[in-house]
A and B are shown apart, each in its own frame.
Chain A
Amino acid sequence: MPVTPSSWTGSLKDSENSDAPLTPWKILIAGGFGAGKTTLVGAVSEIEPLLTEEILTQASIHTDSVHGVEAKTTTTVALDFGRITLARQRMVLMLFGTPGQERFWFMWPDLAKGAVGAIVLVDTRRIEDCFPAVEYFLSKELPFVVAVNHFDGADRYKPEEVHTALDLPPGTPVVLCDARDTTQGRDALITLVQHAHDLAIRNRRPVPCPPLSRSTHA
């Protein structure tokens, strides 16, 4: 990072000072097993993708009649982790490739909390694998886009066809995305954040007195 001449700092907002702390933002990459989540995280991350292991404890669904002693089960889930630093904005995007199987639903509230949104990767050979993720994000009103990762030899579908097959709400973007390609991955992220932005504008509660300043950074 180039050293900023001291004469410039007066014109820089605090948030653009290279010493200012980075604000972390979370983006989820969801989809069925083998849909390309790990590949996509690796393609867009500035560091080699890491595996982050979380041990989760969950009250057992089967209630044994052992005098109120609740059985607990532990599950180990592996998340793909990657990051993208937006240096000038003093932000860092944290990408988490999340297990898409239904048995991991219980961990999604924690993962989805505070997230910007999600990219749902679809393998057109097993389109139904992404239903749980789509349903979950719809129910939680978390912005998401569908990215169709065309595998070699798979039938090719138009985005509109995938939109219809998944019965997505109007306006939900569907993009084609080769998960190995950095530029296409970045474009999918841009589509997601743009969509989240549009939804945020649409759902914004009326503010009695809008702030005059754009800067919200402390």
Chain B
Amino acid sequence: MMTASDQQPFIDAGIADLRPYAITQGRTVPTHELDLITLVRARSSAHSPPQGLVEEAVFVLCRSEARSIGELSGRLRQPVHAVKIVVSDLIDQGFLIPSMAGEDEDARNPIVLDRILEGLREL
């Protein structure tokens, strides 16, 4: 498939070489409860990106579309846990908004599964 691959924002390859504890400034606990599949997007009112190489990269990625924690981790080539801490900071600073869509839905709901099926068949 690979339809969205050629329009991805540029990511500084140097980010992958940073030590996770340097990125999180030694912190180990994110301030928000974020899951691997939690989606975050950039707040449209935030015009200038945040300070910091990693922070800016996360913000730029989330400006073009909502991204999951898992995807951000893969793109930055940084561990999930470090990404959760950075994303939490950016939520606290008003740069990112976590998407609350579907929080009360569950994967055992036949209606949800029906819609997933419908979507897969339309691909």
Contacts and interface: CB of A to CB of B under 8 A. Distances in A.
Nearest to A111: B36
A197 B114 contact: yes
B75 interface: yes
Size category, A interface: 35 or more
A94 B72 CA distance: 13
Interface stretch (B49-57, B86-94, B100-108): B100-108
A197 B110 contact: yes
Interface string A47-65: 1101111110000000000
Contact of B77 (A51, A83, A194): A51
Interface centre among B1, B4, B39, B99 (most CB of A within 10 A): B1
B110 A200 contact: yes
B112 to A, nearest CB: 8
B44 to A, nearest CB: 11
Interface in B41-92: 66, 68, 70-71, 73-75, 77-81
A88 interface: yes
A46 interface: yes
A54 B120 contact: no
A111 B102 CA distance: 18
Contacts of A45: 1-2
A196 B113 contact: yes
Interface string A190-202: 1001101100110
Interface stretch (A19-27, A31-39, A161-169): A19-27
A89 B68 CA distance: 18
A55 B115 CA distance: 34
B37 to A, nearest CB: 4
A43 B113 CA distance: 22
Interface in A59-87: 76, 79, 81, 83-84, 86
Interface in B1-34: 1-5, 8, 20
A11 interface: no
A53 B109 contact: no
Given A89-B118, A94-B37, A216-B109, A22 B123 contact: no
Interface of B: 1-5, 8, 20, 35-39, 66, 68, 70-71, 73-75, 77-81, 99-102, 104-123
* 9 closest A-B pairs by CB: A50-B74, A86-B119, A23-B102, A21-B101, A197-B113, A24-B37, A89-B119, A116-B107, A54-B80
